[in-house]
Structure 1
């Protein structure tokens, strides 16, 4: 192969469309039945549901690790069920729960796996590896020559994300990517991943069993029940505020109002006017910040309201506890 990889054409984010896809095994087991779903280019969509509902099967059908028995899968306008599966996978980044790094290769060599398969020149591959390690918060000089066993779980997960992004894929598939690390590291990785997505704007389908993670990360969430049945496909706020079926209502739980606060921003519409007197002694919350964080500040204010401020620190209104609690009302 020459130094210009075939997968370099059109590495912008691409939409994903599932048209009635299904997977039936020879023994008659129907893992996924007639699932249709559209993911916009640059969107992060989360698949969630109980164990055995076909979430991971859907991911594996998209990159042809498992062949669908019915339906079509479109990457942009191209039907991936008719594409060469090896070439297809080099255009799709894939991150799994236990990372799957090659233990005998250095971090740099692991990240360079797909560029090397695509025939990239060594200088170009090296530059890309350094760029991506910096992007995921790992110093290339410090970590590039290390081996996977010399890294923490969170560091290995970052390397896995860097490797998946190495050839600038049009789509990123992530199967329980943060579940193998402890809760503190998991939260930190989620925050860093959101910052990363704000930079790279890939089309991402992420599988998780954790509703809090789905609400925190997803632009939209697809709730699946047994057999890959799509129960609801909505933004986190709509999903929590208006469950479409009894299954979804039970799945999101009675505490969905609290979860709703995490994805509900503090906006000017809910604010009371600023009083004439000095408000310097009152707690402050950020305009556009989450109602959950605002409630946390209000719970320590002995009943006093909070001052909502812009990024520049300019006060724009007052927020009271009852206003925030109203935002948590699933019927509101």
Structure 2
């Protein structure tokens, strides 16, 4: 695996698949942290590992970049067995973001971001250019922030720098261990929104660990629910997981209010009623066509109405009613992957 690997079309790839085949970790005292865990992470998708404390989420993440060596099984990145690679070289081609960021306090932000490219022997001018490019990508003006030190930034800003550093060498794979849990709820929501935009731009293969089901539903393309010992209970897209949990354990974990959470991952277009006549979006409660049914519900409750107008590029294209909110989420779900 190489961050500059070329695909069949001759263009540099930006993402790679990850395959875990019967991967396990048993410690010398007999403790089984993960037992025979298998998972296929699709290239360019964000997969979330979620489950109770001690279920092996972080252990799985650390086995992917070989901070922890698996006891058994195989881990493949684009079909190549990472256990046959030099672990130090491997880590230089995998982005890694942790909860408390781990920036070097004695180095300025530009130097922090440049850590891996420097180790890979990049040209100095290319290193500086890449650092500034990534600062802009994560919403931090290089002219203001490049020469600052970590203690001069807010928690949310430091977390953005951590993401920029993980992306510096353009890795095919990005691993994130509860990356947003150390910031306050308001900043966390903003970081999640910005991260979704960033992922849309860079299209990396991401495996993220979180304990927060709302975060998993908001960010994940697929969610893997784990039980103690790293046992996989269900692996499915968010809407499918919420609508069709395969067991009572999964249903309990995702919560009794999973119906409301489904609204947040279901596009408003699924419930759209085409307008039979011209509508004036300026005189009625509206929701953007790119929003979710949760957004539509919020507008209905705030405006005390039973119907909202769906607007696209300033034009009304239809309506959504309260009744539609509870019928639409089930239309797009498919049978869940049972384990």
TM-score (norm 1): 0.94
Structure 2 CA distance, aligned partners of 1:151 and 1:306? 41
Tell me what 1:315 maps to: 316
| 1:197-221 alpha-carbon deviations (Å, 9 max, x no partner) | 0110000000000000000000000
Contact kept, 8 Å, 1:240 with 1:252, in 2: the verdict is yes
TM-score (norm 2): 0.92
Structure 1 CA distance, aligned partners of 2:262 and 2:279? 33
Residue 175 of structure 2: which of 173, 176, 190 is its match?
Answer: 173
Residue 58 of structure 2: which of 40, 46, 56 is its match?
Answer: 56
| 1:61-92 alpha-carbon deviations (Å, 9 max, x no partner) | 00000000011000001100111001100110
Tell me what 1:15 maps to: 17
Q: Provide closer, same or farther for how the CA distance between residues 35 and 140 of structure 1 changes in structure 2, counting only shifts above 3 A.
A: same
Tell me what 1:149 maps to: 151
Tell me what 1:3 maps to: none
Structure 1 CA distance, aligned partners of 2:207 and 2:267? 24
* Residue segments in structure 2 that go unaligned for 5+ positions in a row: 7-12, 334-339
After TM superposition, give the deviation of residue 328 of structure 1 in Å: 5.8
Tell me what 2:89 maps to: 87
Equivalences, count = 326
Contact kept, 8 Å, 2:222 with 2:237, in 1: the verdict is yes
| 1:169-191 alpha-carbon deviations (Å, 9 max, x no partner) | 11000000000000000000001
* Residue segments in structure 1 that go unaligned for 5+ positions in a row: 1-5
Residue 108 of structure 1: which of 93, 107, 110 is its match?
Answer: 110
Q: Provide closer, same or farther for how the CA distance between residues 152 and 242 of structure 1 changes in structure 2, counting only shifts above 3 A.
A: same
Q: Provide closer, same or farther for how the CA distance between residues 116 and 93 of structure 1 changes in structure 2, counting only shifts above 3 A.
A: same
Structure 2 CA distance, aligned partners of 1:9 and 1:89? 16
Q: Provide closer, same or farther for how the CA distance between residues 302 and 188 of structure 1 changes in structure 2, counting only shifts above 3 A.
A: closer
Secondary structure of 1:239 counterpart: helix
| 1:28-78 alpha-carbon deviations (Å, 9 max, x no partner) | 000001111001110000000000000000000000000000110000011
| 1:149-195 alpha-carbon deviations (Å, 9 max, x no partner) | 11110111011001100000110000000000000000000011011
- Which range moved further: 263-272 or 135-144? 263-272
Q: CA RMSD in A?
A: 1.9
Aligned runs of 1:233-248 on 2, under 5 Å? 233-248=235-250
Contact kept, 8 Å, 1:282 with 1:304, in 2: the verdict is no
Q: Provide closer, same or farther for how the CA distance between residues 277 and 77 of structure 1 changes in structure 2, counting only shifts above 3 A.
A: closer
Tell me what 1:227 maps to: 229
| 1:208-262 alpha-carbon deviations (Å, 9 max, x no partner) | 0000000000000000000111100000000000101111000011100111100
Q: Provide closer, same or farther for how the CA distance between residues 100 and 276 of structure 1 changes in structure 2, counting only shifts above 3 A.
A: closer
